Structure 1
Amino acid sequence: MTLEWMNGQANGSQPPHGDGSGHADEGTSSGRPGVVAAAVYQNGRRLRDIRIEEAGEWRSRDNVVVWIGLHEPDRDLLRQVQKQFDLHDLAIEDAGKAHQRPKLEIYGDAIFVVARTAHMVEEEIAFGETHLFVGRGYVVSVRHGASTSYMAVRQRCESSPAALAHGENYILYSILDFIVDNYMPVVETIHAEVEELEDRLLRSRLAKADIERLYLMRRNLLKLRNAVVPLVDVCRRHEHLELPGMDAAMQPLFRDVTDHVRRVQEDIDALREVLAFTFEASLMIGQSEQTEISRKLASWAAILAVPTAIAGIYRMNFEDMPELHFRYGYFVVLAVIFGLCVTLYRFFRRARWL
């Protein structure tokens, strides 16, 4: 869903959808640790940066929204934010701790959203969390762990005042859309690696390192799925108007985010199935090779058993063996051994054991 849908025309070129930094690198508004950015907007236009202590004074004004971004804040900073916006104690407690399950909670006239973030770091998926407090006239985002900077989201919103004039609902949509869009590079990277493993499997048997990598990818996809699937319900609930302060004009945008999340979920499920098939195919190829080797060994063992058995008989210490005194007995025995071995060899060749 594009910004032009909201304002009829673009107000300038948009910044890239993400900077891929994975850290709070956009600077701070007040130099205070944990505070990434804190600004106030009126009618979609940025008025100025503010301090946390004065944030509550702006929220009651008409067409004004306060947008605060925090990165791993301490307890004192969260308590100050809670005091400014009358946030619920349970939501503040959850925001102070990572490893929360994606969810949406309603506290009076405000909502609390938890979303898991993901991006690739050296061929591994780095997971983080974003906690969002959304109420009338304010949005507070709290990031934990490896999370991509939201400065690109802020810049994109500021570049379209007509869209940002929808206030906190549009900011919430923009952040969720950014989180969901960042899932796609992760899925595409894994998809490319899965295709490479499939091609390698068709050419030759997978090595032990490939099997270990395949298992790690399946485990990472399971973690990614656990982060994505609950977000489907979170986004779907934003399509309805029962949430506090929900704007009807925002429903198509949240529906678009829901579609994107479901598409990511489908891609993850498809990749997990492909990885499962690749793993099973690798096992089947390995078993087939072992079976073929076992057949060859059994065939040669049967062939070698003929001269071994005959030679074993003649090694017995018996005097009354008529063949021992036959003039051409040695040559006859060799001919019998050779004939039996050739017969067995041709039999196993026809049976494709050799």
Structure 2
Amino acid sequence: MALERTNGRDAGAERSPAAVGQQADAAGHRPGVVAAAVYQHGRRLRDIRIEEAGEWRNREGVVIWIGLHEPDQELLRQVQLEFDLNDLAIEDAGKAHQRPKLEIYGEAIFVVARTAHMTGEEIAFGETHLFVGRGYVVSVRHGPSTSYMAVRQRCEASPAALAHGEHYVLYSILDFIVDNYMPVVEAIHGEVEALEDRLLRDRLAKADIEHLYMLRRNLLRLRNAVVPLVDVCRRHEHLELPGMEVAMQPLFRDVTDHVRRVQEDIDALREVLAFTFEASLMIGQSEQTEISRKLASWAAILAVPTAIAGIYGMNFEQMPELRFRYGYFVVLAIIIALCVTLYRFFRRARWL
């Protein structure tokens, strides 16, 4: 049976928490439940309530797919009872700011992934927790993450692929998360190129340095979200996970390749930003050195008349050349000659 790869780049529009809540109410779900449906052999049967999930478990070819957005503890406990989820996993799912990871609890797995997408010119970071077991997938979103309704629609449009069950749903969500990293990296790449062009034309201003620092900080946050996900996806390439099919390995290998490419792009951008900052410092130091050389050159030139005038400005009666008729003109000519000589010397040395 051929598997189709979902592409996160043509996902649906982002949805605010208010819109998600309106959708949940319209579908008759309780607050915090975005969608809850049951599928058999890849085809959607109907929407269900959380309390009905236990009735459909362990049926042949049935997968229950539930999507939650910032659920309360009561809702999480209800989901735990219906799917017999681990206490530690439920405790982690109730809190945001978890590190991306994959944990195995018996015949079920718990996956944490960090999400990122552009909201205008800012990067919005969110978090997704996934419970995957035999016949069910429960996704828990925290923060301003993009809705997975587009992923659900694409999976429903391909019943043959969705018939592979819960691990195909897991793959589709992870692929969607990873693909959403790319627009963020591309946006940062454009800003980095703009900083590089500005550096070549002129010195970076203080605002540019502050913007450079913000870009480095965003790249670090994005890297902290991406790098642990490499290991999470890599583990899905092997048959060490409960219920993993051989046919799913190429799909998860593809996701792993995408994550690694994102990681490489992030590392490359961080190196470019580091070089841009160092180049800005070197240009500033070079300009300061040039100014210091000019000041030193003019100080040396002005030291000649200052020294001669200081000597002949002493109030002694017995001094040579005091009675010389053309002494002033001779001294003035000597001063000019010495100053011109020094000026030409510094010009040849490129100090002036």
- Alignment TM class, shorter chain as reference: over 0.9
Q: CA deviation at 1:267?
A: 0.4
1:300 paired residue among 286, 290, 298: 298
Structure 1 residue ranges without an equivalent (≥5): none
SS in 1 for 2:81: helix
Residues 238, 254 of structure 1: 8 Å contact kept: yes
CA distance in 2 between counterparts of 1:204 and 1:190 reads: 21
SS in 1 for 2:289: helix
CA distance in 1 between counterparts of 2:42 and 2:78 reads: 26
SS in 1 for 2:10: coil
1:20 paired residue among 3, 14, 24: 14
Q: Deviations over 1:1-39 (max 9, x none)?
A: xxx94269x9xxx99324234647351132421111111
Residues 306, 341 of structure 1: 8 Å contact kept: yes
Relative distance call for 1:261 and 1:22 in structure 2 (3 A) is: farther
Residues 24, 71 of structure 1: 8 Å contact kept: no
Residues 184, 264 of structure 1: 8 Å contact kept: yes
Bigger shift: residues 97-106 or 29-38: 29-38
CA distance in 2 between counterparts of 1:292 and 1:226 reads: 42
Residues 229, 259 of structure 2: 8 Å contact kept: yes
Identity %: 84
Which letter does structure 1 place at the counterpart of 2:239? L
Residues 17, 153 of structure 1: 8 Å contact kept: yes
Report the equivalent of 2:240.
242
TM-score, normalised via structure 2 length: 0.95
Q: Deviations over 1:253-308 (max 9, x none)?
A: 00000000000000001111111111111111110000000000000011111111
Report the equivalent of 2:250.
252
CA distance in 2 between counterparts of 1:140 and 1:350 reads: 76
Relative distance call for 1:222 and 1:242 in structure 2 (3 A) is: same
Q: Are residue 6 (structure 1) and residue 11 (structure 2) matched?
A: no
Residues 15, 156 of structure 1: 8 Å contact kept: no
1:87 paired residue among 85, 97, 103: 85
Q: Are residue 223 (structure 1) and residue 217 (structure 2) matched?
A: no
Q: Matched residue pairs, number?
A: 348
Q: CA deviation at 1:311?
A: 1.2
CA distance in 2 between counterparts of 1:76 and 1:192 reads: 44
TM-score, normalised via structure 1 length: 0.95
Report the equivalent of 2:121.
123
Give the superposed CA RMSD: 1.9
**Structure 1 ranges of 4+ moved more than 6 A:** none
Q: Deviations over 1:168-222 (max 9, x none)?
A: 0110000000000000000000011111111111111111111111111111111
1:286 paired residue among 262, 270, 284: 284
**Matches for 1:196-345 after TM superposition, within 5 Å:** 196-345=194-343
